[in-house]
Chains A and B, each alone.
Chain A
């Protein structure tokens, strides 16, 4: 790697971050120059979010130093980062829904005259900012009435223009942008560049990175693999750098099977407007089907539609040959279809309940004797599951809220297991858990869960899917791209399909979106 020029506004020197049981970042060197758009790409778990956390002052690095405008820091605080001119636009738009566009834009920077807001100035300033980037929004509109895409743009404008930062970090900012708003983003980025600001552009989309960025840094397993200027890269070489050593479809020992049971689920042309369309797939007993796709590919929505939480608008679904259409989760559960929520805090556990009570949530009706709970029997069953899923807690009576993320996830998995469903819909079961918990969750999926049932699994990264799935269906912006059998698993090709290449090839380069 070349020696960093001295005019860099941001420089990371040997940044390492160690979490208990895992190394998130190892000896990372990185620099951003004024007037440069610097892309950052890497698979899930490569360390991008830790890096963003360190820059925004939310995560303290274990060692190494951060040099901002020539001054070294061993760690940043939120306010220090802001004072030094670092602005972060997070993945999820965080906006005050009840305030107007103008107020949101200048929130925290409201100019006042003796404590009073000057509405006229606020509105003129806001209109000037919006006009400059061709954003046709009424400044008096309530943020509540904006689309997700417009909210995201507003936040980008706030961070880039209003707060006048020197370094802007866009963390997957384009993921929730519509196509038209995407071009506005390009304009904003171009404008910032001309003003001599440093932009850190994080994205999963190779296309976009190659179009917008001047230089690209690839992270893999917490390390910087390469930093190259754009003209030295193309789609394929970048994909190879991101994926690394190609995964060989190893028929890993013991658990792998070739013989599956009968077909238990068939989906034909399932569509939910704005989320996914024309999905076909089948699932046999004992089989694990993976759904791969980037954010916004419709993978979560597909599982939610199958389980009746957000029903599909069109298409057919049959369970063991019987046509079904679930309009609420209780109906799906009765037929043996159990959904593991992606967001375990808000849709998974009941915080006021003990671990045991959480485990029994789905199946308590099974222990009903004329409406009364047969507690002896129920507790025995709960204890069984408690040891099956290996929750690390000293007692089943402990409150569920006191558990770590991984153990909470195991509680929710145990909960849906207690009902002995025939189809498991697992929505990102390994999200945000440590490596040990991840392994034991995956071995649960590959062991007891598939024993007598079919499993559909989603994951933000490919590793988990390649590890346990028998087949993988790739979605791109709500459209099915390709289905892979285990013998065809190829990480690079899957990765390209997730980027939409396979899809574009199939449709002659025309890109469409299921909206």
Chain B
């Protein structure tokens, strides 16, 4: 393969970062104070929660499934745990470390339930996670009529704490980046990751090739549950409370972020690096609209437009990639 083609293909595969760069440059030129340290930190901080959900959704999409319950888990896991440690069993569950552990476990268990239903009972992922999402959201509304506050500082640390020594950097940002790095390595460099991608690409072929595809699907949902619980702790920490409206409506935006980042809806394709780009672009976009003074009520429609453009561009990207490869093949043939 020629060097020029390699660079072109690399650019096409990471087109989300190119878009991000162009969008950032345009905003930096057009909007005063956009490129300031404070605003950049602000964008990243506001993106952390969505980033977790994008990663959760993207990860499940890679295995060829989808999860509609992530925003309900975001509210349910920390909600129930905080309720238990403050109202139900204040004596036994007072330790905030235990609470963190319980929140993560609850997210994981819910994910396992989803995965079990899909992989072992053969339920449709859309229907299963939709029903669970309605159940969990309903339970949250029932259990937490108003919000519960304040939270233990240890519990709210990852969502709220800032490091004054590092220019007031919120802890949530390095936490998010570390998790993304972890998942990048997991998908790209581990045997599990490769088998996981293969399962999404062609489950039947992977099964025939000796991969435990049922386990792959379950692990995918467990991880989505875990990440949603982390997103829940970030949200609870930031507002220093748990409330019943946390995360409402974020599931579908998480799809958008994952798709913007090059994840395939039909499975088998996606990278953590791309998903991060998708999540940040979503955050940067709404930040720019805010700074431009666009009405809050209009932001939703604008985000929808962005998603539409992203899908359109993805089609363009796929056909351009195919054409480049075909041209290369023709060139090779002519040389021979």
Residues in A lying within 8 Å of B, measured CB to CB: 309, 328-330, 332-334, 339, 341, 346-353, 357, 360-362, 364-365, 367-368, 371-373, 375, 394-395, 397-399, 402, 415
Contact = CB atoms under 8 A, between A and B. Distances in A.
Contacts of B198: 350, 353, 357, 361
Contacts of B207: 309, 328-329
A371 B206 CA distance: 18
B201 A347 contact: no
Contacts of A395: 1
Given A329-B208, A333-B210, A351 B191 contact: no
Interface stretch (B31-39, B125-133, B324-332): B324-332
Contacts of B268: 350-353
A402 B200 CA distance: 19
11 contacts: A329-B210, A330-B211, A347-B205, A347-B208, A351-B268, A352-B268, A352-B269, A357-B194, A361-B211, A371-B191, A394-B328
Given A330-B210, A353-B268, A394-B328, A372 B205 contact: no
Interface in B170-207: 185, 189-192, 194-195, 197-198, 200-202, 204-207
A371 B190 contact: yes
B208 A341 contact: yes
Given A368-B191, A399-B325, 12 more contacts: A329-B209, A341-B205, A350-B201, A351-B201, A352-B200, A352-B264, A361-B205, A364-B191, A373-B194, A394-B328, A395-B1, A398-B325
A309 B191 contact: no
A106 B151 CA distance: 67
A415 B190 contact: no
Contacts of A365: 191
B209 A375 contact: no
Contacts of B194: 357, 360, 364, 373
Contacts of B267: 352
A349 B208 contact: no
B171 to A, nearest CB: 28
A415 B198 CA distance: 13
Main secondary structure of the interface of A (DSSP, over half): mixed
B202 A350 contact: yes
B190 A353 contact: no
Contacts of A394: 1, 328-329, 332
A364 B209 CA distance: 11
Interface in B253-279: 264, 267-269
Nearest to A331: B210
B139 to A, nearest CB: 35
Contacts of A341: 205, 208
A209 B318 CA distance: 50
Nearest to A368: B191
A372 B201 contact: no
A349 B212 contact: no
B190 A373 contact: yes
Contacts of B201: 350-353
**Contact-size category for B:** 20 to 34
Nearest to B322: A402
Contact of B195 (A309, A351, A364): A364
Contacts, number: 88
Nearest to A330: B210
Q: Give the 7 A-B CB pairs with smallest separation, nearest first.
A: A352-B268, A350-B201, A330-B210, A333-B210, A352-B201, A350-B202, A368-B191
A258 to B, nearest CB: 34
Contacts of B328: 394
Interface string B301-328: 0000000000000000000001001001
B325 A415 contact: no
Contact of B189 (A330, A348, A360, A375): A375
A397 B2 CA distance: 12
A132 B26 CA distance: 75
A407 to B, nearest CB: 12
A367 B194 CA distance: 12
Contacts of A333: 209-210
A354 to B, nearest CB: 11
With a 10 A CB-CB cut-off, give which of B194, B204, B208, B325 has the most chain A CB atoms: B208
B319 to A, nearest CB: 13
Contacts of B212: 330
A402 B202 contact: no
Contacts of A373: 189-191, 194
B215 to A, nearest CB: 10
A361 B325 contact: no
Contacts of A309: 207-208
A372 B195 CA distance: 12
Nearest to A357: B194
A256 B269 CA distance: 45
Contacts of A398: 325
A422 B223 CA distance: 37
B328 to A, nearest CB: 7
Contacts of B329: 394
A422 B194 CA distance: 25
A368 B267 CA distance: 24
B208 A415 contact: no
A304 to B, nearest CB: 9
A247 to B, nearest CB: 33
Residue in B189, B201, B325 whose Cβ sees the most chain A Cβ within 10 Å: B201
B206 A346 contact: no
A371 B189 CA distance: 9
A339 B210 CA distance: 10
Given A348-B205, A397-B1, A402 B325 contact: yes
Contacts of B1: 394-395, 397
B205 to A, nearest CB: 5
A46 to B, nearest CB: 31
A367 to B, nearest CB: 8
Contacts of A339: 208
A375 B190 CA distance: 10
Contacts of B202: 346-347, 349-352
A371 B188 CA distance: 12
Contact of B197 (A332, A353, A368, A375): A353
Nearest to A395: B1
A309 B325 CA distance: 36
Given A357-B194, A371-B192, A346 B210 contact: no
Contact of B209 (A346, A361, A367, A368): A361
Nearest to B185: A372
Interface in B266-298: 267-269
Residue from A341, A346, A352 whose CB has the most chain B CB atoms within 10 Å: A352
A348 B198 CA distance: 11
Contacts of B191: 364-365, 367-368, 371-373
A329 B208 CA distance: 6
A26 B206 CA distance: 42
